[in-house]
């Protein structure tokens, strides 16, 4: 009978069993060293630890060989120039520490005395922490990397307060991945923290590759295409979520955080909105929302008009549409599906290829295929323009997961438009609104502040009001402190009045 790795590790009841199990691997090393009159054994995975730190520890201990007072492992702790040392005699704790890159030091005369020295290696961690998917035109460009300590350091560098609390748990029976939960005490509602912690601890999974997996495992509804937690690789977005009362989660080996509870409108907010004057920030946010609506319904509206509703098209435009479609042998549904699928092929191919080749493929391939499709009478010029604008508009959302949801939803709405025209689009829109109104993120309504209606939160939803108006935290988060800052009026003197 096959047993999971988690079950097999539970059988290791003693330190000797742990070392015997680890010793089956060729990268597990043991070294015998005598410090003073104390015979020691060093055990570690050479593929996990920092070899430079190991030499520092050995050198520091060998300098104590002339000191006769070193008679136990407790005497050695003061001579090891590293932090977070731990003394343990629990086999499960020792095993977990070894697998996370710790050095095990034990005395051969007292084998149950164990010192665990964390010295995880930094090889393979990229030093460039520029954001890959969330580009910043204005404002800081600090992103995260695949190292949990580095990411927590970046957060601490901006939030210099003792109220920033970090809780670490371990998830993954095989990966034993560290997952950190971050929140600001005194602001966040404790119920949100408890709910997030309970959901993460209830996860039974083998390997956690990325924080996005946790997003799916703890989501309130796994049958929705919409992301229920905001995924970001930007530090300023995580900081803003923490100070408004949200909870942030990140796993070791992942360059992105998830924050929640989130609302639908969080996915249309860009940190750049707060770096620009409020009027410009509001304008660009409205542009994003309009772009998503256009991307979602433009192709479906073309199919509905060309199939059922010629009468609503102006005469001047109707002639152009008829002339562009008179040589196309396919109905508008097949025409739209063909172009939308072609766009998706180009997107996926461009995303998987190297940057330079991908950009060339996207531009040249789109031009060549579009021109060839028109000349071969497979589609009309008007639909190519509509589909191209829809594909462009789907990327105006700052969060990539939301743009994926919009891309997916276009296809069923096109099918509904081909069946019942404008009525089909209206049915699809109603189903979409009902589905969104039923969604929750960490128990909070996904459509807030519009459902349920919260008038005080509207000032930072569709538009972004001035800083004099946005001094309170969203009420749907139920924060312990609603006031962020007190916007006192600045006394602006006019130099002409002084003369």
* 422 and 283, same domain (yes or no): yes
- Paired tokens of 479: 């924060």
Domain-terminating residue out of 201, 232, 262: 262
* 301 and 412, same domain (yes or no): yes
pLDDT value for 6: 45
pLDDT value for 133: 73
Domain-terminating residue out of 262, 288, 307: 262
The domain of 112 spans 5-118
* 297 and 400, same domain (yes or no): yes
Residue 312's SS3 state is helix
Say if 282 falls within a structural domain. Answer: yes
How far apart CA 97 and CA 4 sit, in angstroms, is: 20
| Torsion angle in degrees (nearest 10) through CA of 314, 316, 320, 326 | 70
pLDDT value for 2: 39
* 248 and 295, same domain (yes or no): no
* 251 and 382, same domain (yes or no): no
Say if 255 falls within a structural domain. Answer: yes
How far apart CA 259 and CA 250 sit, in angstroms, is: 9
Under 8 Å between Cβ of 231 and 199: no
- Cβ-in-10-Å burial (0-12, 13-18, 19+) of 449 comes to buried
* 240 and 282, same domain (yes or no): no
pTM: 0.84
- Paired tokens of 389: 């604008």
The 3-state secondary structure of 380-438 reads: CHHHHHHHHHHHHHCCCCCCHHHHHHHHHHHHHHHHHHHHHCHHHHHHHHHHHHHHHHH
Can you list the residues of the chain whose pLDDT is less than 70? Answer: 1-13, 64-73, 75, 110-113, 122-125, 127, 132, 354-367, 489-499
pLDDT value for 478: 93
DSSP secondary-structure letter at 247? Answer: E
- Paired tokens of 390: 């829809």
pLDDT value for 4: 42
Say if 461 falls within a structural domain. Answer: no
How far apart CA 179 and CA 169 sit, in angstroms, is: 5
Domain-terminating residue out of 236, 262, 288: 262
């Amino acid at each position: 009978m096959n047993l999971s790795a988690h079950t097999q590790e539970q059988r290791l009841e003693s330190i000797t069993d742990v070392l015997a199990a680890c010793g089956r691997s060729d990268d597990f090393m043991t070294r015998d060293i005598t410090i003073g009159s104390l015979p020691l054994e060093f055990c570690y995975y050479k593929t996990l630890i920092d070899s430079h730190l190991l030499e520092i520890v050995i050198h520091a201990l060998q300098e104590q060989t002339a000191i006769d007072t070193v008679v136990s492992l407790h005497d050695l702790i003061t001579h090891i120039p590293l932090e977070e040392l731990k003394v343990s005699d629990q086999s499960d704790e020792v095993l977990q520490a070894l697998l996370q890159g710790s050095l095990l030091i034990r005395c051969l005369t007292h084998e149950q005395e164990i010192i665990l020295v964390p010295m995880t290696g930094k090889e393979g961690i990229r030093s460039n922490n520029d954001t890959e998917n969330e580009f910043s035109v204005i404002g800081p460009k600090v992103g995260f990397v695949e190292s949990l300590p580095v990411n927590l350091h970046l957060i601490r560098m901006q939030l210099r307060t003792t109220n920033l609390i970090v809780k670490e748990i371990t998830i993954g029976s095989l990966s034993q991945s560290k997952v950190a939960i971050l929140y600001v005490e005194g602001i966040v509602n404790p119920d949100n923290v408890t709910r997030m912690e309970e959901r993460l601890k209830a996860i039974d999974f083998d390997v956690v590759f990325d924080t996005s997996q946790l997003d799916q495992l703890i989501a309130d509804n796994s049958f929705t295409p919409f992301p229920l937690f905001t995924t970001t690789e930007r530090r300023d977005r995580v900081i803003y979520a923490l100070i408004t009362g949200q909870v942030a989660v990140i796993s070791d080996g992942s360059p992105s955080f998830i924050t929640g509870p989130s609302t639908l409108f969080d996915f249309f907010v860009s940190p750049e909105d707060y770096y620009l004057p409020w009027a410009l920030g509001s304008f660009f946010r409205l542009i994003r929302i309009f772009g998503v609506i256009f991307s979602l319904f433009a192709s479906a509206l073309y199919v509905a008009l060309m199939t059922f509703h010629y009468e609503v098209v102006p005469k001047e435009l109707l002639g152009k549409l008829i002339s562009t479609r008179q040589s196309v042998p396919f109905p508008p549904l097949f025409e739209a599906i063909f172009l939308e699928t072609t766009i998706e092929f180009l997107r996926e191919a461009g995303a998987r290829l190297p940057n330079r080749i991908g950009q060339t493929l996207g531009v040249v391939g789109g031009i060549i295929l579009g021109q060839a499709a028109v000349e071969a009478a497979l589609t009309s010029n008007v639909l190519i323009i509509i589909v191209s604008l829809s594909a462009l508009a789907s990327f105006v959302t700052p969060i990539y997961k939301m743009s994926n949801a919009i891309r997916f939803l276009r296809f069923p709405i096109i099918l509904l438009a081909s069946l019942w025209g404008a009525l089909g689009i209206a049915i699809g829109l109603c189903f979409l609104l009902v589905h969104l109104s039923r969604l929750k993120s960490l128990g909070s309504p996904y459509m807030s502040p519009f459902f349920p209606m919260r008038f005080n939160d509207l000032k930072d939803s569709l538009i972004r009001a001035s800083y004099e108006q946005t001094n309170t935290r969203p009420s749907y988060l139920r924060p312990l402190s609603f006031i962020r800052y007190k916007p006192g009026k600045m006394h602006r003197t006019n130099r002409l009045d002084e003369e």
